[in-house]
Chain A
Protein backbone atom coordinates (compact mmCIF):
# COMPACT_ATOMS: atom_id res chain seq x y z
CA UNK A 1 0.00 0.00 0.00
CA UNK A 2 1.28 3.40 -1.06
CA UNK A 3 -0.18 6.84 -0.48
CA UNK A 4 0.20 9.34 -3.29
CA UNK A 5 -1.24 12.77 -3.92
CA UNK A 6 -3.34 12.15 -7.01
CA UNK A 7 -6.01 13.89 -9.02
CA UNK A 8 -9.22 11.98 -9.67
CA UNK A 9 -8.11 11.32 -13.23
CA UNK A 10 -4.76 9.90 -12.23
CA UNK A 11 -6.50 7.83 -9.58
CA UNK A 12 -8.66 6.34 -12.35
CA UNK A 13 -5.52 5.47 -14.29
CA UNK A 14 -4.06 3.74 -11.24
CA UNK A 15 -7.32 1.89 -10.79
CA UNK A 16 -7.27 0.64 -14.36
CA UNK A 17 -3.63 -0.37 -13.96
CA UNK A 18 -4.36 -2.32 -10.77
CA UNK A 19 -7.29 -3.98 -12.53
CA UNK A 20 -4.75 -5.18 -15.12
CA UNK A 21 -6.65 -3.73 -18.02
CA UNK A 22 -5.04 -5.01 -21.22
CA UNK A 23 -6.77 -2.90 -23.84
CA UNK A 24 -7.25 0.85 -23.79
CA UNK A 25 -8.67 2.97 -26.55
CA UNK A 26 -9.62 6.59 -26.11
CA UNK A 27 -9.82 9.97 -27.78
CA UNK A 28 -8.72 13.10 -25.97
CA UNK A 29 -11.28 15.53 -24.56
CA UNK A 30 -11.01 17.99 -21.73
CA UNK A 31 -11.24 17.12 -18.84
CA UNK A 32 -10.57 13.42 -19.47
CA UNK A 33 -7.15 13.74 -21.08
CA UNK A 34 -5.00 13.25 -18.01
CA UNK A 35 -6.48 9.77 -17.53
CA UNK A 36 -5.29 8.53 -20.89
CA UNK A 37 -2.01 10.42 -20.65
CA UNK A 38 -1.24 8.63 -17.41
CA UNK A 39 -2.27 5.30 -18.89
CA UNK A 40 -0.07 5.98 -21.93
CA UNK A 41 2.85 6.51 -19.54
CA UNK A 42 2.13 3.22 -17.76
CA UNK A 43 1.97 1.33 -21.07
CA UNK A 44 5.04 3.02 -22.47
CA UNK A 45 7.14 2.27 -19.41
CA UNK A 46 6.00 -1.34 -19.33
CA UNK A 47 4.26 -0.89 -15.98
CA UNK A 48 1.03 -1.93 -17.66
CA UNK A 49 1.01 -4.65 -20.29
CA UNK A 50 -1.76 -3.37 -22.52
CA UNK A 51 -2.53 -2.38 -26.08
CA UNK A 52 -3.21 1.34 -26.33
CA UNK A 53 -5.05 2.33 -29.51
CA UNK A 54 -5.06 6.06 -30.20
CA UNK A 55 -8.25 6.22 -32.24
CA UNK A 56 -9.43 9.07 -34.40
CA UNK A 57 -12.77 9.68 -32.64
CA UNK A 58 -14.80 8.68 -29.58
CA UNK A 59 -17.16 6.66 -31.74
CA UNK A 60 -14.14 4.63 -32.82
CA UNK A 61 -12.91 4.44 -29.22
CA UNK A 62 -16.05 2.63 -28.13
CA UNK A 63 -16.02 0.51 -31.31
CA UNK A 64 -12.44 -0.53 -30.59
CA UNK A 65 -13.12 -1.51 -26.97
CA UNK A 66 -16.19 -3.41 -28.12
CA UNK A 67 -14.05 -5.37 -30.60
CA UNK A 68 -11.38 -6.00 -27.99
CA UNK A 69 -13.83 -7.10 -25.31
CA UNK A 70 -15.54 -9.43 -27.78
CA UNK A 71 -12.34 -11.43 -28.12
CA UNK A 72 -11.69 -11.52 -24.38
CA UNK A 73 -9.60 -8.47 -23.53
CA UNK A 74 -10.25 -6.45 -20.37
CA UNK A 75 -10.98 -3.08 -21.95
CA UNK A 76 -11.11 0.50 -20.69
CA UNK A 77 -12.03 3.83 -22.19
CA UNK A 78 -12.96 7.28 -20.92
CA UNK A 79 -14.69 10.37 -22.21
CA UNK A 80 -16.89 13.39 -21.42
CA UNK A 81 -19.84 15.39 -22.78
CA UNK A 82 -19.46 15.89 -26.55
CA UNK A 83 -17.28 12.80 -26.81
CA UNK A 84 -19.81 10.70 -24.95
CA UNK A 85 -22.60 11.93 -27.21
CA UNK A 86 -20.49 11.20 -30.30
CA UNK A 87 -20.01 7.60 -29.17
CA UNK A 88 -23.61 7.28 -28.03
CA UNK A 89 -24.81 4.68 -30.56
CA UNK A 90 -21.79 2.51 -29.75
CA UNK A 91 -22.45 2.87 -26.02
CA UNK A 92 -25.82 1.22 -26.49
CA UNK A 93 -24.17 -1.41 -28.70
CA UNK A 94 -21.77 -2.38 -25.92
CA UNK A 95 -24.62 -3.08 -23.52
CA UNK A 96 -26.68 -4.94 -26.12
CA UNK A 97 -23.68 -7.11 -26.98
CA UNK A 98 -23.25 -7.85 -23.24
CA UNK A 99 -19.61 -6.86 -23.08
CA UNK A 100 -17.98 -6.14 -19.68
CA UNK A 101 -16.30 -2.85 -20.61
CA UNK A 102 -15.54 -0.12 -18.06
CA UNK A 103 -15.68 3.52 -19.06
CA UNK A 104 -14.71 6.57 -17.05
CA UNK A 105 -17.01 9.57 -17.59
CA UNK A 106 -15.63 12.88 -16.41
CA UNK A 107 -18.91 14.71 -16.31
CA UNK A 108 -18.95 17.93 -18.28
CA UNK A 109 -21.60 20.28 -19.58
CA UNK A 110 -23.01 19.99 -23.07
CA UNK A 111 -22.41 22.64 -25.74
CA UNK A 112 -23.47 25.12 -26.94
CA UNK A 113 -22.23 27.26 -25.36
CA UNK A 114 -18.92 25.45 -24.89
CA UNK A 115 -18.26 24.54 -21.27
CA UNK A 116 -15.60 22.29 -19.89
CA UNK A 117 -16.95 22.41 -16.35
CA UNK A 118 -18.97 19.90 -14.43
CA UNK A 119 -22.59 19.05 -15.12
CA UNK A 120 -24.32 15.69 -14.92
CA UNK A 121 -26.23 15.85 -18.20
CA UNK A 122 -23.78 13.63 -20.04
CA UNK A 123 -23.64 10.89 -17.41
CA UNK A 124 -27.40 10.77 -16.94
CA UNK A 125 -27.92 10.46 -20.69
CA UNK A 126 -26.67 6.88 -20.24
CA UNK A 127 -29.45 5.80 -17.96
CA UNK A 128 -31.57 3.86 -20.48
CA UNK A 129 -28.61 2.31 -22.31
CA UNK A 130 -28.18 -0.84 -20.24
CA UNK A 131 -24.93 0.35 -18.69
CA UNK A 132 -24.45 0.08 -14.95
CA UNK A 133 -23.88 3.63 -13.72
CA UNK A 134 -21.79 4.39 -10.64
CA UNK A 135 -20.83 7.90 -9.52
CA UNK A 136 -17.77 8.61 -7.41
CA UNK A 137 -17.33 11.56 -5.09
CA UNK A 138 -13.56 11.97 -4.83
CA UNK A 139 -10.26 10.67 -6.13
CA UNK A 140 -10.08 7.77 -3.69
CA UNK A 141 -13.53 6.56 -4.62
CA UNK A 142 -12.68 6.88 -8.32
CA UNK A 143 -9.73 4.52 -7.92
CA UNK A 144 -11.71 2.05 -5.85
CA UNK A 145 -14.81 2.15 -8.04
CA UNK A 146 -12.90 1.57 -11.30
CA UNK A 147 -11.58 -1.66 -9.77
CA UNK A 148 -14.97 -2.64 -8.35
CA UNK A 149 -16.46 -1.92 -11.78
CA UNK A 150 -14.56 -4.80 -13.39
CA UNK A 151 -15.62 -7.16 -10.66
CA UNK A 152 -19.23 -6.14 -11.22
CA UNK A 153 -19.12 -6.09 -15.04
CA UNK A 154 -17.48 -9.49 -15.39
CA UNK A 155 -19.79 -11.23 -12.92
CA UNK A 156 -21.64 -14.00 -14.73
CA UNK A 157 -24.98 -12.77 -13.44
CA UNK A 158 -24.28 -9.31 -14.82
CA UNK A 159 -22.13 -9.22 -18.00
CA UNK A 160 -22.97 -5.56 -18.60
CA UNK A 161 -20.64 -2.61 -19.15
CA UNK A 162 -20.10 -0.18 -16.26
CA UNK A 163 -19.63 3.59 -16.45
CA UNK A 164 -17.91 5.29 -13.53
CA UNK A 165 -18.62 9.02 -13.35
CA UNK A 166 -16.89 11.81 -11.48
CA UNK A 167 -17.08 15.59 -11.65
CA UNK A 168 -14.96 17.63 -14.04
CA UNK A 169 -12.22 19.55 -12.28
CA UNK A 170 -13.65 19.28 -8.79
CA UNK A 171 -12.87 15.58 -8.73
CA UNK A 172 -10.90 15.02 -11.92
CA UNK A 173 -8.23 17.69 -11.42
CA UNK A 174 -8.19 18.24 -7.66
CA UNK A 175 -5.33 16.43 -6.03
CA UNK A 176 -5.90 14.59 -2.78
CA UNK A 177 -4.02 11.96 -0.90
CA UNK A 178 -5.09 8.62 -2.29
CA UNK A 179 -4.29 5.23 -0.91
CA UNK A 180 -3.15 2.93 -3.73
CA UNK A 181 -3.64 -0.71 -2.75
CA UNK A 182 -0.92 -3.17 -3.64
CA UNK A 183 -1.21 -5.33 -6.73
CA UNK A 184 -1.36 -8.46 -4.55
CA UNK A 185 -4.36 -7.19 -2.64
CA UNK A 186 -6.20 -6.27 -5.84
CA UNK A 187 -5.30 -9.62 -7.44
CA UNK A 188 -7.02 -11.25 -4.48
CA UNK A 189 -10.09 -9.07 -5.01
CA UNK A 190 -10.32 -9.14 -8.80
CA UNK A 191 -9.76 -12.48 -10.52
CA UNK A 192 -8.12 -12.75 -13.94
CA UNK A 193 -10.41 -12.23 -16.93
CA UNK A 194 -12.37 -15.36 -17.71
CA UNK A 195 -13.64 -16.56 -21.05
CA UNK A 196 -17.36 -16.16 -21.60
CA UNK A 197 -19.91 -17.88 -23.81
CA UNK A 198 -20.34 -15.17 -26.47
CA UNK A 199 -16.63 -14.51 -26.89
CA UNK A 200 -15.60 -14.75 -30.57
CA UNK A 201 -13.59 -17.90 -31.19
CA UNK A 202 -12.45 -19.40 -34.52
CA UNK A 203 -12.84 -22.89 -33.07
CA UNK A 204 -16.54 -22.34 -32.36
CA UNK A 205 -17.86 -19.95 -34.98
CA UNK A 206 -20.98 -17.92 -34.41
CA UNK A 207 -22.24 -14.42 -35.17
CA UNK A 208 -22.66 -11.77 -32.49
CA UNK A 209 -25.36 -9.20 -33.17
CA UNK A 210 -27.41 -10.69 -36.02
CA UNK A 211 -30.76 -9.40 -37.17
CA UNK A 212 -33.68 -10.34 -34.91
CA UNK A 213 -37.26 -10.21 -36.06
CA UNK A 214 -40.00 -8.94 -33.74
CA UNK A 215 -40.52 -12.45 -32.41
CA UNK A 216 -36.97 -12.53 -31.02
CA UNK A 217 -35.73 -9.03 -30.10
CA UNK A 218 -37.67 -8.37 -26.91
CA UNK A 219 -36.17 -11.25 -24.98
CA UNK A 220 -32.70 -9.73 -25.27
CA UNK A 221 -33.91 -6.54 -23.65
CA UNK A 222 -35.60 -8.58 -20.93
CA UNK A 223 -32.32 -10.38 -20.32
CA UNK A 224 -30.49 -7.05 -19.88
CA UNK A 225 -33.14 -5.89 -17.42
CA UNK A 226 -32.83 -9.17 -15.54
CA UNK A 227 -29.07 -8.77 -15.25
CA UNK A 228 -29.40 -5.13 -14.30
CA UNK A 229 -31.65 -6.09 -11.40
CA UNK A 230 -29.31 -8.92 -10.42
CA UNK A 231 -26.54 -6.32 -10.40
CA UNK A 232 -27.93 -4.75 -7.19
CA UNK A 233 -26.72 -7.68 -5.11
CA UNK A 234 -23.49 -7.88 -7.09
CA UNK A 235 -22.71 -4.19 -6.51
CA UNK A 236 -23.40 -4.52 -2.80
CA UNK A 237 -21.26 -7.62 -2.54
CA UNK A 238 -18.45 -6.11 -4.62
CA UNK A 239 -18.36 -3.05 -2.38
CA UNK A 240 -18.55 -5.08 0.84
CA UNK A 241 -15.76 -7.43 -0.21
CA UNK A 242 -13.66 -4.50 -1.29
CA UNK A 243 -14.09 -3.33 2.27
CA UNK A 244 -13.02 -6.70 3.63
CA UNK A 245 -10.01 -7.18 1.39
CA UNK A 246 -8.82 -3.62 0.76
CA UNK A 247 -10.30 -1.82 3.74
CA UNK A 248 -12.69 0.68 2.17
CA UNK A 249 -16.33 0.53 1.14
CA UNK A 250 -18.93 3.10 0.20
CA UNK A 251 -22.31 1.71 1.18
CA UNK A 252 -23.14 0.01 -2.09
CA UNK A 253 -25.81 1.82 -4.09
CA UNK A 254 -26.09 4.85 -1.81
CA UNK A 255 -23.96 6.46 0.87
CA UNK A 256 -26.01 7.65 3.85
CA UNK A 257 -24.74 10.48 6.03
CA UNK A 258 -26.63 11.16 9.26
CA UNK A 259 -29.89 9.93 7.75
CA UNK A 260 -30.96 7.65 10.60
CA UNK A 261 -32.89 10.27 12.61
CA UNK A 262 -33.30 12.93 9.96
CA UNK A 263 -36.50 14.87 9.35
CA UNK A 264 -35.26 16.07 6.00
CA UNK A 265 -32.86 14.21 3.74
CA UNK A 266 -30.94 15.83 0.92
CA UNK A 267 -30.29 13.62 -2.10
CA UNK A 268 -27.20 14.55 -4.11
CA UNK A 269 -24.73 12.94 -6.45
CA UNK A 270 -21.03 13.51 -6.96
CA UNK A 271 -18.43 15.84 -5.53
CA UNK A 272 -20.87 18.48 -4.33
CA UNK A 273 -22.11 15.90 -1.82
CA UNK A 274 -19.06 16.88 0.18
CA UNK A 275 -20.41 20.42 0.45
CA UNK A 276 -23.76 18.84 1.16
CA UNK A 277 -22.30 16.98 4.13
CA UNK A 278 -20.74 20.21 5.42
CA UNK A 279 -24.15 21.84 5.11
CA UNK A 280 -25.67 18.94 7.06
CA UNK A 281 -23.16 19.47 9.86
CA UNK A 282 -23.78 23.19 10.02
CA UNK A 283 -27.54 22.70 9.99
CA UNK A 284 -27.33 20.13 12.72
CA UNK A 285 -25.42 22.66 14.81
CA UNK A 286 -28.27 25.03 14.16
CA UNK A 287 -30.78 22.49 15.36
CA UNK A 288 -32.05 20.96 12.14
CA UNK A 289 -32.33 17.16 11.96
CA UNK A 290 -31.05 16.79 8.46
CA UNK A 291 -29.16 14.07 6.65
CA UNK A 292 -27.65 13.50 3.22
CA UNK A 293 -28.10 10.53 0.92
CA UNK A 294 -25.45 10.38 -1.77
CA UNK A 295 -26.62 8.54 -4.88
CA UNK A 296 -23.74 6.27 -5.87
CA UNK A 297 -25.55 4.01 -8.34
CA UNK A 298 -27.92 5.55 -10.87
CA UNK A 299 -28.45 2.22 -12.63
CA UNK A 300 -29.60 -0.07 -11.22
CA UNK A 301 -31.57 2.59 -9.38
CA UNK A 302 -31.51 2.25 -5.55
CA UNK A 303 -35.28 1.91 -5.30
CA UNK A 304 -35.32 0.08 -1.96
CA UNK A 305 -32.77 2.35 -0.33
CA UNK A 306 -34.65 5.47 -1.41
CA UNK A 307 -37.95 4.04 -0.17
CA UNK A 308 -36.49 3.07 3.19
CA UNK A 309 -35.09 6.52 3.80
CA UNK A 310 -38.24 8.22 2.62
CA UNK A 311 -40.43 6.19 4.98
CA UNK A 312 -38.75 7.94 7.89
CA UNK A 313 -38.56 11.57 6.75
CA UNK A 314 -40.98 14.47 6.55
CA UNK A 315 -39.52 15.88 3.35
CA UNK A 316 -36.84 15.23 0.79
CA UNK A 317 -34.68 17.69 -1.09
CA UNK A 318 -33.10 16.57 -4.34
CA UNK A 319 -30.31 18.69 -5.74
CA UNK A 320 -29.91 17.93 -9.45
CA UNK A 321 -26.82 19.01 -11.30
CA UNK A 322 -28.84 18.41 -14.44
CA UNK A 323 -32.24 19.23 -15.85
CA UNK A 324 -34.69 17.53 -18.15
CA UNK A 325 -36.29 20.54 -19.85
CA UNK A 326 -40.00 20.79 -19.35
CA UNK A 327 -39.94 18.13 -16.65
CA UNK A 328 -37.49 18.87 -13.86
CA UNK A 329 -34.37 17.34 -12.40
CA UNK A 330 -33.65 13.83 -13.57
CA UNK A 331 -32.70 12.40 -10.18
CA UNK A 332 -35.73 14.01 -8.56
CA UNK A 333 -37.94 12.49 -11.22
CA UNK A 334 -36.46 9.04 -10.58
CA UNK A 335 -36.76 9.38 -6.79
CA UNK A 336 -40.36 10.43 -7.07
CA UNK A 337 -41.08 7.52 -9.39
CA UNK A 338 -39.48 5.14 -6.89
CA UNK A 339 -41.78 6.47 -4.17
CA UNK A 340 -44.98 6.54 -6.15
CA UNK A 341 -46.25 3.10 -5.23
CA UNK A 342 -45.50 3.43 -1.52
CA UNK A 343 -48.00 4.63 1.09
CA UNK A 344 -45.73 7.04 2.90
CA UNK A 345 -44.66 9.60 0.32
CA UNK A 346 -42.87 12.65 1.68
CA UNK A 347 -42.92 15.75 -0.51
CA UNK A 348 -39.86 15.98 -2.71
CA UNK A 349 -38.44 19.43 -3.41
CA UNK A 350 -36.30 19.60 -6.45
CA UNK A 351 -33.44 22.05 -6.80
CA UNK A 352 -31.62 22.58 -10.07
CA UNK A 353 -28.15 23.92 -9.32
CA UNK A 354 -24.54 23.79 -10.38
CA UNK A 355 -25.00 23.44 -14.13
CA UNK A 356 -21.99 24.18 -16.29
CA UNK A 357 -19.68 24.05 -13.29
CA UNK A 358 -21.40 26.74 -11.20
CA UNK A 359 -20.67 26.10 -7.53
CA UNK A 360 -23.13 24.17 -5.42
CA UNK A 361 -21.96 25.58 -2.15
CA UNK A 362 -23.00 25.04 1.40
CA UNK A 363 -25.33 28.06 1.28
CA UNK A 364 -27.43 26.61 -1.51
CA UNK A 365 -27.87 23.31 0.28
CA UNK A 366 -28.71 25.05 3.53
CA UNK A 367 -31.24 27.35 1.89
CA UNK A 368 -32.91 24.40 0.19
CA UNK A 369 -33.18 22.53 3.48
CA UNK A 370 -34.50 25.56 5.33
CA UNK A 371 -37.15 25.99 2.65
CA UNK A 372 -38.15 22.37 3.14
CA UNK A 373 -38.42 22.94 6.88
CA UNK A 374 -40.64 25.93 6.27
CA UNK A 375 -43.05 23.60 4.54
CA UNK A 376 -43.03 21.13 7.41
CA UNK A 377 -43.41 23.69 10.17
CA UNK A 378 -45.45 26.48 8.66
CA UNK A 379 -47.01 24.70 5.72
CA UNK A 380 -45.53 27.44 3.59
CA UNK A 381 -45.20 25.57 0.35
CA UNK A 382 -41.76 25.75 -1.24
CA UNK A 383 -41.83 25.41 -4.97
CA UNK A 384 -41.79 21.85 -6.28
CA UNK A 385 -39.00 22.84 -8.65
CA UNK A 386 -36.58 25.67 -8.05
CA UNK A 387 -33.50 26.80 -9.86
CA UNK A 388 -30.97 28.06 -7.33
CA UNK A 389 -27.90 30.14 -7.92
CA UNK A 390 -29.18 31.76 -11.11
CA UNK A 391 -27.61 35.12 -11.89
CA UNK A 392 -30.36 37.29 -13.32
CA UNK A 393 -27.88 39.99 -14.31
CA UNK A 394 -26.29 37.58 -16.78
CA UNK A 395 -29.52 37.08 -18.69
CA UNK A 396 -30.01 39.70 -21.35
CA UNK A 397 -33.76 39.85 -21.64
Chain B
Protein backbone atom coordinates (compact mmCIF):
# COMPACT_ATOMS: atom_id res chain seq x y z
CA UNK B 1 0.00 0.00 0.00
CA UNK B 2 1.68 3.20 -1.10
CA UNK B 3 2.00 5.85 1.59
CA UNK B 4 -0.19 8.81 0.73
CA UNK B 5 -1.65 11.71 2.61
CA UNK B 6 -5.42 11.33 2.79
CA UNK B 7 -7.56 14.37 3.45
CA UNK B 8 -10.69 12.33 2.90
CA UNK B 9 -11.89 9.64 5.35
CA UNK B 10 -10.04 6.70 3.81
CA UNK B 11 -9.70 3.40 5.68
CA UNK B 12 -7.07 0.84 4.79
CA UNK B 13 -7.70 -2.94 4.49
CA UNK B 14 -6.36 -4.57 7.66
CA UNK B 15 -6.58 -8.04 9.15
CA UNK B 16 -8.08 -7.67 12.60
CA UNK B 17 -9.74 -4.36 11.75
CA UNK B 18 -11.98 -4.84 14.77
CA UNK B 19 -9.31 -6.34 16.96
CA UNK B 20 -8.46 -9.90 17.93
CA UNK B 21 -11.98 -11.20 17.55
CA UNK B 22 -10.89 -14.55 18.96
CA UNK B 23 -11.42 -12.84 22.30
CA UNK B 24 -15.16 -12.88 21.63
CA UNK B 25 -15.28 -16.67 21.92
CA UNK B 26 -17.17 -18.48 24.60
CA UNK B 27 -16.90 -21.90 22.88
CA UNK B 28 -13.93 -23.03 20.80
CA UNK B 29 -14.07 -25.40 17.79
CA UNK B 30 -11.58 -28.28 17.92
CA UNK B 31 -11.03 -30.43 14.82
CA UNK B 32 -10.49 -34.16 15.25
CA UNK B 33 -8.19 -34.78 12.28
CA UNK B 34 -8.67 -38.54 12.54
CA UNK B 35 -12.34 -38.12 11.67
CA UNK B 36 -11.83 -35.32 9.12
CA UNK B 37 -12.64 -36.37 5.55
CA UNK B 38 -11.26 -33.16 4.02
CA UNK B 39 -14.63 -32.19 2.50
CA UNK B 40 -13.81 -28.54 3.32
CA UNK B 41 -17.41 -27.72 4.32
CA UNK B 42 -16.01 -26.01 7.42
CA UNK B 43 -13.78 -23.79 5.27
CA UNK B 44 -16.69 -23.05 3.01
CA UNK B 45 -19.20 -22.14 5.70
CA UNK B 46 -16.97 -20.11 8.04
CA UNK B 47 -18.37 -16.56 7.94
CA UNK B 48 -15.10 -15.14 9.16
CA UNK B 49 -12.77 -16.81 6.70
CA UNK B 50 -10.90 -17.98 9.80
CA UNK B 51 -10.41 -21.48 8.43
CA UNK B 52 -7.71 -21.95 5.83
CA UNK B 53 -6.65 -24.98 3.86
CA UNK B 54 -3.13 -26.13 4.67
CA UNK B 55 -1.72 -29.37 3.29
CA UNK B 56 -5.24 -30.30 2.22
CA UNK B 57 -6.44 -29.98 5.83
CA UNK B 58 -8.60 -27.28 7.41
CA UNK B 59 -6.81 -25.12 9.94
CA UNK B 60 -8.61 -22.75 12.31
CA UNK B 61 -7.10 -19.37 13.11
CA UNK B 62 -7.91 -19.04 16.79
CA UNK B 63 -6.75 -15.42 16.91
CA UNK B 64 -9.85 -14.45 14.94
CA UNK B 65 -12.30 -17.38 15.22
CA UNK B 66 -15.41 -16.02 16.97
CA UNK B 67 -16.63 -19.46 18.06
CA UNK B 68 -19.98 -19.25 16.23
CA UNK B 69 -20.05 -23.06 15.88
CA UNK B 70 -21.24 -23.21 12.26
CA UNK B 71 -18.30 -25.39 11.32
CA UNK B 72 -19.11 -27.89 14.06
CA UNK B 73 -22.81 -27.81 13.17
CA UNK B 74 -22.19 -28.43 9.47
CA UNK B 75 -19.39 -30.98 9.61
CA UNK B 76 -20.92 -34.10 8.01
CA UNK B 77 -18.87 -36.48 10.14
CA UNK B 78 -19.03 -34.47 13.37
CA UNK B 79 -15.25 -34.11 13.41
CA UNK B 80 -15.46 -30.68 15.05
CA UNK B 81 -16.44 -30.29 18.67
CA UNK B 82 -17.24 -27.04 20.44
CA UNK B 83 -15.40 -26.92 23.77
CA UNK B 84 -15.65 -24.36 26.49
CA UNK B 85 -13.08 -21.62 26.07
CA UNK B 86 -10.83 -21.37 29.11
Contact = CB atoms under 8 A, between A and B. Distances in A.
Contact of B8 (A98, A204, A205): A98
Contacts of A223: 7
A206 B7 contact: no
Q: B interface, how many residues as a size bin?
A: 10 to 19
B16 interface: no
A242 B1 CA distance: 38
Given A204-B1, A204-B2, A97 B8 contact: yes
A210 interface: yes
B23 to A, nearest CB: 19
A100 to B, nearest CB: 11
Nearest to A216: B9
B46 to A, nearest CB: 22
A210 B13 contact: no
Contacts of B6: 197-198
Q: A interface, how many residues as a size bin?
A: 10 to 19
B1, B11, B12: most-surrounded residue (chain A CB, <10 A): B11
A325 to B, nearest CB: 34
A210 B8 contact: no
Interface string A362-394: 000000000000000000000000000000000
Interface of chain A, main secondary structure: loop
A98 B7 contact: yes
Contact of A210 (B2, B4, B7, B11): B11
Nearest to B1: A204
B9 A206 contact: no
B13 A227 contact: no
A45 interface: no
A198 B10 contact: yes
B1 to A, nearest CB: 7
A207 B2 CA distance: 15
B5 interface: yes
Contact of B9 (A159, A197, A205, A212): A212
Contact of A205 (B4, B5, B7, B13): B13
A209 B6 CA distance: 12
Contacts of A67: none
Given A205-B13, A206-B12, A206-B13, A198 B2 contact: no
Contacts of A340: none
B8, B10, B12, B13: most-surrounded residue (chain A CB, <10 A): B8
A220 B11 CA distance: 13
B36 to A, nearest CB: 34
A3 interface: no
B9 A220 contact: yes
Contacts of A205: 13
A204, A206, A209: most-surrounded residue (chain B CB, <10 A): A206
A274 interface: no
B8 A198 contact: yes
B9 A96 contact: yes
Contacts of A208: 8-10
Interface of B: 1-2, 4-13
28 contacts: A96-B9, A97-B8, A98-B7, A98-B8, A197-B4, A197-B6, A197-B7, A197-B8, A197-B10, A198-B6, A198-B8, A198-B10, A204-B1, A205-B13, A206-B10, A206-B12, A207-B10, A207-B11, A207-B13, A208-B10, A209-B8, A209-B9, A210-B11, A212-B9, A220-B8, A220-B9, A223-B7, A227-B7
Interface of A: 96-98, 159, 197-198, 204-210, 212, 220, 223, 227
Given A204-B2, A212-B9, 17 more contacts: A96-B8, A97-B8, A98-B8, A197-B4, A197-B6, A197-B7, A197-B10, A198-B6, A198-B7, A206-B10, A206-B13, A207-B13, A208-B8, A208-B10, A210-B11, A220-B8, A227-B7
Return the 3 tightest CB-CB contacts between A and B, nearest first: A210-B11, A198-B8, A98-B8
